[in-house]
Chain A
Amino acid sequence: MYLYDQYDQAMVDARVAEFRDQAQRRLEGKLTEDQFKPLRLMNGLYLQLHAYMLRVAIPYGTLNSRQMHALADIAEKYDRGYGHFTTRQNIQYNWIKLEDAGDILADLAEVEMHAIQTSGNCIRNISSDHFAGAAADELVDPRPYAELLRQWSSFHPEFSYLPRKFKIAVIASDTDRAAMRLHDIGIQIVKNDAGELGAAFYVGGGMGRTPMIAPCIKEFVPLDRLVTYAEACLRVYNRHGRRDNKYKARIKILVHEMGAEEYTRQVDAEFDHMLSQGIEPPFAELERIRTFFEDPLFEEGASAEIDRSDPDFALWVDRNTHAHKADGYVSAVISLKPVGGIPGDATSEQMRLMADLAKDYSFDELRVMHTQNIVLPHVRVADLHALWTALEEAGLGSSNLDTIEDIIACPGLDYCSLANARSIPVAQKISERFAANGKTEALGKLKLKISGCINACGHHHAGHIGILGVDKKGVENYQLLLGGSEAEDVSLAKITGPGFDEAGIVDAVETAADVYLREREDGERFLDTYRRIGMAPFKEALYG
């Protein structure tokens, strides 16, 4: 994985010193809250429902064990012993004290981490495929390109005050595991007919109050011009994006209102202009970055045989491992979704265990999934039972990946000042309901996503089943949506009809699941059945 050079470290250290001084001046009354707020947000420090909340960037979701240990130590030393892994592959701490913020950032800097650009109208943390560098189906490892974009976008003076926040995802597989087309810019590394690698650009996607799927505006950009093309996309947005209305300020609105064709024409014109200036970053820098992402030394001839005599272990292997590019290896997913648990939360002890297991079994690497689980990307098949045993003993052995119990949920009204309804209790009740009724196995792959407000941090638009919490005259109410997908078969979910109360939404999810079980044909997922039979049978079952 990428290691900071002297410039990276100097930049982060300088930012720590700067923010420590800003926080001190705020505490001394030399800065008002109005003056301080944009400064703290630039460093990921929010004022949330109960306290300050710090969001720490985990570039493209990649961590080593030392960094995970540091995250655990921060949770224990400065917070309340846990952290929350988010839908953008980051981690959030919910109980931070302003007087500790400088020390926390200094601790992060010691392990090459920071909270820069995790808030504000700038280019946020670059996200990617959580199986990058390991997946059997990827073209190349997308992370060098994500890292190049991270370096380009960090402190970029032209893009520090965009009309709105800006999110980029990079993948290199036809299977989209990063919700690529629901980002402001989605980049897929592709190969052209001549066998050359390039980047396909999808621009203008997003969730939030106006969900949109990004159209492909360029099918192939040579890799040595990747950054320049991204910069052209940003320049046109920065020039024309609306600043008069924050609800219409995202690039998806610009692309929609301007039209993808005209937007692309302007981007191409800007791109041509930039090429005439000769300001592309040197290709050698990409080559330098790429050296940090070379494969670990996989054991040749590693055994792929598994003793499946323990049914619980066999189920975990079937559900929670993913095909690896090296024979005898898999990527193993640690579920942070125990039945009745809080999706994405991990205690300091759990973080330390995951870090130690990564060191023992996965070449010191971990990944954060946008679905709020943790990946050990390179595990020998022969080590799987020992790994699973250790996870089971720590309560981390849930075998529910991609099932109805593997729920994405935003922090919701329990933690978030923007939320209108609680998300977590709904997730807890649904996972308990399906664990008890035994339908999880029969339902197969079913992605359920819950947001506590229209901002859609819980990706409800992209759930096979989505739930949106709203405020109905001061009472929590939940809308049910069906038919969304964030994968390569991307689609936006549609609302079924009137909302439900907290108990009612759990019943409604089970009703929808039962319609699927009744109507499905061989091999169909929930989403496939919905697409075939449409909304009507579900509405009939839900509302009569």
Chain B
Amino acid sequence: MRILTGNDLKSGSVTWWTGSDWSLHVEDAVDVAGSEDEIARREEASRRVNAPYAIDAEIYEGRPRPSHIKDRIRALGPTVRPDLTLKPTDPDIGTWVI
């Protein structure tokens, strides 16, 4: 599957296209295969996202998970500072990233 990501214009936070809005959580992402360019163009024009692009993802335990480790780290936060990630108390998050 293909999922769409970008950064929030004001905060710079990594965001994911949910089909109607942008979420901080990659688990909310939806498949945009075939329509990524159109959505990216429209959303960037309306300043709801900065520099959007599509990446490959797969379903992992029922939720989208980026295929490449770089995108997984981007989705979660730095592996060396779990306190700064989106899931600071999740004991299984290392497995999800690596």
Contacts and interface: CB of A to CB of B under 8 A. Distances in A.
B7 A47 contact: yes
Interface in A67-101: 80, 95-99
Contacts of A80: 84
Interface stretch (A294-302, A377-385, A422-430): A422-430
Contacts of B10: 27, 97-99
B11 A414 contact: no
B51 A50 contact: no
A263 to B, nearest CB: 38
B70 A413 contact: yes
B70 A98 contact: no
B9 interface: yes
A50 B78 contact: yes
B91 to A, nearest CB: 17
Interface residues of B, number: 23
Contacts of A419: 70
A27 B69 contact: no
Interface in A344-368: none
Interface in A1-45: 26-27, 29, 33
B18 interface: no
Contact of A96 (B12, B14, B50, B80): B12
Nearest to A94: B78
A428 B80 contact: yes
A47 B51 contact: yes
A26 B12 CA distance: 13
A342 B80 CA distance: 8
A347 to B, nearest CB: 12
A80 B81 CA distance: 11
Contact of A474 (B14, B51, B69, B80): B69
Interface in A385-425: 413-415, 417, 419-420, 422, 424-425
A425 B12 contact: no
Interface residue SS majority, chain A = mixed
A419 B74 CA distance: 12
B69 A51 contact: no
Contacts of A424: 78, 80
Nearest to B44: A33
B80 A425 contact: yes
Given A413-B70, A413-B73, A98 B51 contact: no
Contacts of B80: 342, 414, 422, 424-425, 428
B13 A414 contact: no
Given A29-B47, A50-B77, A98-B12, A474 B67 contact: yes
B31 to A, nearest CB: 20
A269 interface: no
A49 interface: yes
A95 B74 CA distance: 13
Interface of A: 26-27, 29, 33, 47, 49-52, 80, 95-99, 342, 413-415, 417, 419-420, 422, 424-425, 428, 474-476
15 contacts: A27-B10, A29-B47, A47-B50, A47-B51, A49-B14, A49-B70, A49-B73, A50-B13, A50-B77, A51-B11, A52-B12, A95-B12, A99-B11, A414-B81, A415-B78
Interface of B: 7, 9-14, 44, 47, 50-51, 67-70, 73-74, 77-81, 84
